[in-house]
Amino acid sequence: MSLESTTYVLRGARPLGGDAADVVLRDGVIAEITAAGTADTTGAEVVDAAGQVLLPGLVDLHTHLREPGREDAETVASGTRAAAAGGFTAVHAMANTSPVADTAGVVEQVYRLGQEAGWADVHPVGAVTVGLDGERLAELGAMADSAAHVRVFSDDGRCVADPVLMRRALEYVKAFDGVVAQHAQEPRLTEGAQMNEGIVSAEIGLTGWPAVAEEAIIARDVLLAEHVGSRLHVCHLSTAGSVEIVRWAKSRGIDVTAEVTPHHLILTDDLARSYDPTFKVNPPLRTAADVEAVREGLADGTIDIVATDHAPHSREDKDCEWGAAAFGMTGLETALSVVQETMVDTGRLTWSDVARVLSAAPARIGRVDTGPAAQGRPVAVGEPANLTLVDPAARRTVDGGTQVTASGNTPFRGRELPGQVRATFLRGRATVLDGTPVVAGEAVR
C-alpha cells in the first residue's frame, strides 16, 4: 500500500478548537467528519488526536529559503521540512536569492525544487525589479505565465523606493491579479541603521531606525494603490503608526493587506541591550507600545495575516558583533506557538481566527486558495486534506540545536512556548507525525 493511499482517522480532534470529532482523510481529501469515537477505522491508520486542535494547513506568505545561492543557510528541502514541522503546508519563497528570482527560469527552478522535496507547496515570489536593484522592472508577466504561476511580487530585503517604479509595478500586476508586497523602508532614513530609533538605541549607542522610515513608505504606497486601483500588500508591519495608516487606508476602501511577524508580536528593542545579534532583524524590534499596537491591529482585522519572515543565516553571518551581523531570524517552527501565546491564550483571537490569519487569508492574498492545489480551505468534507494538528496544552522549551531548519538563529532559544504541532498533512499525506517530520513512513531530522 503506498503512502498516498493511506487512510487516516484523526480520532477526537477538535476542528478549529470546537467539539471533538473523528476526521477521516482519504485519497487526499477530508472524506468524513463524524462524532468522536464513531469513525470506521478498518484498514486506517489511527492518529490519537484527543485534545488537539485541527487547523487548515498553515500558509506562509513570507519565507526565505535561500536556494539558489546560500544553501549553507537553508535549502528548499530543509526550509520546507522546517515549515512542515511548524504546521505549514505552503510557503511563499522570497526572491532575494542568488541569482535573484527575477526571471521565469529562476522561479520555475524554485517551484520544482519544492515539488521534488514534497514537504510543502512552494510558491515563488517574483522580484519587482531586475536584480532587486530598484532600477528596471523585472519581467513580471513572464513570471506570472511561467509554471510557477507567480502572483506575489516583492523586492523584499529591499524597498521599492522609487515611486515611479512602484506605480508601474502596481499597474502591471493588475493584468494577472497579482499583488506587490512592499518591504517598507525609506532607504535614506535608514542609512547605517542597526536597530529601532528610540530610548534604547540612544542609551547603547547603536544607529537608530526611525518608525517614520516605515510609515512614510506605507502612506505613500496606499495612496499609489488607490490612485492606480491596484492591490498592495505591506510586509512585516512593525510600528503603531503603520497600523494607524493601514486602518485609515482600509476605512477609505483602499485594497491593501498587511502582515505582522511573530517576533514583532512578542519581542521588543530592549533585547538589543544584550548586543546579541540574534535579535538583529529588519524591520527592527520595536517598543512595547508598538507590540501592543500590532496585537490590537491583528485582533481587529487591520492586520490581515501573520507571516514568519523566516530568515535563516549561516553561523558566520550571525555569530559576530552586532554591527557586522546579518539581519534576520528563523520563525517557521515557532510561529504558531507565538501566536498562541500572544493572541489565543490572551483571549484576543480564537482558533478559528488563527485559521484565518495563518491559513485562509494568506492563501487568498497569494491567490493559492483555488484549483487542484488549493490551500487555506475550510476544514470540511470534500476539501483537500491540508491540515495540521496542534496540542495547545503542550509546553516546550525552544532549543536551537533540535530545530529542523538548517540555521540556528532562533530568537526564542531557551524560551518556553505553548503548543506543539503533532501532525501535518499535505493533500492527505503525512509530512509530520508524532511531532516529527516523516518521509516514506520514516522519521527524519
Nearer to Zn ion, 7 or 261 (CB): 261
Q: How far is the CB of 235 from Zn ion (least distance, A)?
A: 5
Q: Beta strands 152-153 and 179-182: pairing type?
A: parallel
Residue 91: strand pairing partners: 60, 122
Ranges of H-type helices in 157-287: 163-173, 199-204, 211-228, 240-251
Task: Name the segment binding Zn ion (CB under 5 A); options: 14-22, 134-142, 162-170, 177-185.
Answer: 177-185
Nearer to Zn ion, 237 or 385 (CB): 237
Closest CA to 185 of 143, 154, 230, 218: 218
221 binds Zn ion (CB under 5 A): no
Task: Go through the chain and tell me how many residues it has.
Answer: 445
Window 120-159: residues binding Zn ion (CB under 5 A)? 156
Q: How far is the CB of 282 from Zn ion (least distance, A)?
A: 6
Q: How far is the CB of 142 from Zn ion (least distance, A)?
A: 24
Q: Cell numbers for 203, please give them.
A: 542609551
CA–CA dist 241, 235 (Å, integer): 15
Residue 119: how many CA atoms within 13 Å on its side-chain side? 28
Nearer to Zn ion, 156 or 391 (CB): 156
Non-local CB neighbours of 388 within 8 Å, separated by 6+ positions: 54, 55, 56, 57, 58, 87, 88, 89, 336, 421, 423, 424, 425, 432
Task: Name the segment binding Zn ion (CB under 5 A); options: 183-191, 247-255, 329-337, 347-355.
Answer: 183-191
Nearer to Zn ion, 123 or 183 (CB): 183
Window 388-427: residues binding Zn ion (CB under 5 A)? none
| Dihedral sign, Cα of residue 251, residue 256, residue 261, residue 262 | positive
Residue number of the CB closest to Zn ion reads 183
183 binds Zn ion (CB under 5 A): yes
Please count the residues of this chain forming the interface with Zn ion, following the rule CB under 5 A: 2
Q: Which of 22, 309, 353, 391 is catalytic?
A: 309
Non-local CB neighbours of 135 within 8 Å, separated by 6+ positions: 129, 162, 165
429 binds Zn ion (CB under 5 A): no
Q: Beta strands 53-56 and 387-397: pairing type?
A: antiparallel
Q: How far is the CB of 44 from Zn ion (least distance, A)?
A: 43
Q: How far is the CB of 19 from Zn ion (least distance, A)?
A: 40
CA–CA dist 105, 339 (Å, integer): 36
Nearer to Zn ion, 108 or 156 (CB): 156
Secondary structure (DSSP) of 288-304: HHHHHHHHHHHHTTSS-
Q: Is 353 a catalytic residue?
A: no
Q: How far is the CB of 326 from Zn ion (least distance, A)?
A: 13
Nearer to Zn ion, 64 or 149 (CB): 64
| Catalytic site positions | 309
Binding site for Zn ion (CB under 5 A): 156, 183
